[in-house]
């Protein structure tokens, strides 16, 4: 996983620069801006195009931070960072990696949701590929237009279910762009090996269809056989253009997400982050919480506010973990309950149930409200993943606290407006006893003199490491055991001091080490299962770390 600079700045003999002048400054992969040395300026024809003072990378970071912190709104900060990404990858990723707590909520959740809603109005430069319904039969030509050929991972969305915001169509490109920025920042996947893709199949959002600044096709969504044919062509041509490329499906609606995962998971190296990544980070949080309560996973009862991709994915992984702990699968499934817009998911609903809900539809009388479901099921954990803001009311959290000495309360929906409750509410309504995790960031809370530090159950703890492990091994498949290993690895990295302050995850500043260790576990499974296409190294963790991109300027050509 080398860095591209020397390739771009020198010819094959290493003598004559392959690019000169403004072309160098316009390529974010090689641009150093004011940090070009005098020798580089002489060689590359940059004298006069830059101010004469040669800056250090550290000075450039300081300048970026000064301007970034001057911005009044999070959307302005998002636009500022997007412009930096367009100019200078090394500087962008250095800022992102050195200040993860400040930058990650801007580059990704919660700000990326607002950015996607406004994407057509703030659009500046393309950062990925748009594959539209009009490209049927010529997707190979679209891939051929991408300027970099060493692509190892694609994040793709069709924009139909962006976070908790619904159908944002082509504006959903902000999600693959943000996810892949985190692949580089969190796991050291070189930026030139990443490719964001938006499948523009139209939108059913009437506001966008009448917005002259909407950047996508002004037509209703493609469906049925035509939709499937475009996805099939995309997958097929992606593998031809970039053999062995990992494809991560992101923010597809339920009716497509599950079936596309089932269709391709045994054919190519692929996963759905909303189903599997969310599952792993949530199970990791539960395992951390059980280090506090002392219970076992197979003894827990989980009630999900939501019955879509995230809920089913978490339940499936939790069941797998319970089975690995000795429980029978049927008994493990009975410990997971779903609650959707019609109430508790029960077997009496019969044929109306979507396929992914059937395994969790149990024999029980209908229950209409979440509060009544808590009282009837008596869960040890409630997990919000339906983007119903405020669903965890004072009465619900109070009922959980009456049942459990340390109730597990995970308000995982994002953006912040969709959160089931705030950290302050969870702690106040449980008298400080809740073991809380969130999907959007919340500030520390002081309750009864104790400082509690909630941390996000953020998928960025999981998917970058899983993707890195898949890339470095060239694995032909990404399997459920890989996500189970990721969950256990993440849970183990929460320290006793983390748990003592209410943090169920390690600090985001540790995410590079988290990703490296998850990648090493994924690689171990790939080698053991004979899925890897490279030779097994003697020290897997050291081998993984040696391949992680570091945002530093390369040598003078």
**Residues designated catalytic:** 108, 179
Q: Could you tell me the CA-to-CA distances from 496 to 430, 491, 502 in Å, in that order?
A: 22, 11, 10
DSSP tag of 246? E
Question: Going by C-beta distance under 8 Å and a sequence separation of 6 or more, which residues neighbour residue 294?
Answer: none
Q: Roughly what angle, to the nearest 10 degrees, separates helices 100-107 and 174-187?
A: 160
Q: What is the DSSP string of 448-514?
A: TTEEE--EE--GGGTHHHHHHHHHHHT-S---HHHHHHHHHHHHHTS-HHHHHTT-SS--GGGHHHH
Q: What is the DSSP string of 363-385?
A: S-----SHHHHHHHH--SEEEE-
Burial of 275 (0-12, 13-18, 19+ CB in 10 A): buried
Cis upstream peptide for 110 (omega within 30°): yes
Helix (H, G, I), strand (E, B) or coil at 29: coil
Helix (H, G, I), strand (E, B) or coil at 435: strand
Neighbours of 284 (CB within 10 A): 28
Burial of 167 (0-12, 13-18, 19+ CB in 10 A): buried
Tally the residues of the chain: 557
* Alpha carbon distance 67, 88 (integer Å): 16
Q: In what order do the strands lie in the sheet with 129-132?
A: 129-132, 194-200, 153-157, 246-249, 270-272
């Amino acid at each position: 996983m080398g860095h591209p600079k020397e390739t771009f700045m020198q010819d094959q003999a290493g003598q004559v620069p392959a690019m000169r002048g403004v072309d160098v400054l316009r390529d974010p992969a090689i641009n150093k801006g004011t940090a070009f040395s005098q020798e580089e300026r002489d060689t590359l024809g940059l004298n006069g195009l830059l101010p004469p003072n040669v800056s250090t990378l550290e000075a450039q970071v300081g300048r970026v931070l000064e301007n970034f912190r001057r911005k009044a709104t999070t959307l302005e900060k998002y636009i500022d960072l997007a412009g930096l990404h367009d100019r200078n990858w090394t500087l962008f990723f250095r800022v992102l990696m050195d200040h993860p707590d400040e930058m990650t909520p801007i580059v990704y959740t919660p700000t990326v949701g607002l950015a996607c809603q406004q994407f057509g109005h703030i659009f500046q430069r393309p950062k990925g590929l748009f594959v539209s319904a009009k490209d049927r039969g010529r997707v190979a030509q679209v891939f051929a237009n991408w300027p970099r050929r060493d692509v190892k991972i694609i994040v793709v969305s069709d924009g139909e279910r962006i976070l908790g915001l619904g159908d944002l169509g082509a504006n959903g490109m902000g999600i693959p762009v943000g996810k892949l920025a985190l692949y580089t920042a969190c796991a050291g996947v070189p930026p030139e090996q990443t490719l964001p893709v938006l499948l523009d199949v139209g939108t059913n959002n009437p506001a966008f269809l009448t917005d002259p600044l909407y950047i996508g096709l002004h037509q209703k969504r493609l469906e049925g056989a035509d939709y499937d044919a475009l996805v099939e062509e995309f997958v097929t041509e992606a593998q031809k253009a970039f053999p062995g490329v990992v494809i991560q499906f992101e923010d597809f609606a339920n009716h497509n997400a599950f079936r596309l995962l089932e269709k391709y998971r045994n054919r190519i190296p692929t996963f759905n982050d909303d189903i599997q990544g969310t599952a792993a980070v949530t199970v990791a949080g539960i395992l951390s919480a059980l280090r506090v309560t002392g219970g076992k996973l197979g003894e827990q009862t989980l009630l999900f506010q939501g019955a879509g991709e995230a809920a089913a994915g978490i339940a499936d992984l939790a069941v797998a973990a319970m089975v690995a702990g000795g429980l029978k699968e049927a008994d493990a499934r009975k410990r997971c309950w779903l609650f959707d817009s019609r109430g508790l998911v029960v077997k009496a609903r019969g044929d109306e149930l979507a396929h992914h809900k059937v395994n969790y539809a149990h024999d029980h009388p209908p229950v209409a409200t979440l509060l009544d479901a808590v009282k009837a099921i008596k869960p040890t954990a409630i997990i919000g993943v339906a983007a119903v803001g405020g669903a965890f009311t004072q009465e619900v959290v109070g009922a959980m606290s009456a049942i459990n000495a340390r109730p597990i309360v995970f308000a995982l929906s994002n953006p912040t407006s969709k959160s089931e409750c705030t950290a302050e509410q969870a702690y106040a309504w449980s008298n400080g006893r809740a073991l809380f995790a969130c999907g959007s960031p919340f500030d520390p809370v002081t309750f009864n003199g104790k400082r509690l530090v909630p941390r996000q159950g953020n998928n960025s703890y999981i998917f970058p490491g899983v993707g890195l492990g898949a890339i470095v091994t060239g694995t032909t498949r990404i399997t459920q055991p890989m996500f189970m290993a990721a969950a256990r690895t993440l849970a183990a990295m929460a320290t006793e001091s983390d748990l003592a302050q209410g943090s169920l995850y390690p600090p985001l500043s540790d995410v590079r080490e988290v990703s490296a260790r998850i990648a090493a576990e994924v690689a171990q499974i790939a080698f053991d299962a004979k899925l890897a296409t490279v030779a097994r190294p003697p020290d897997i963790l050291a081998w993984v770390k040696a391949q992680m991109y570091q945002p530093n300027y390369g040598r003078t050509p």
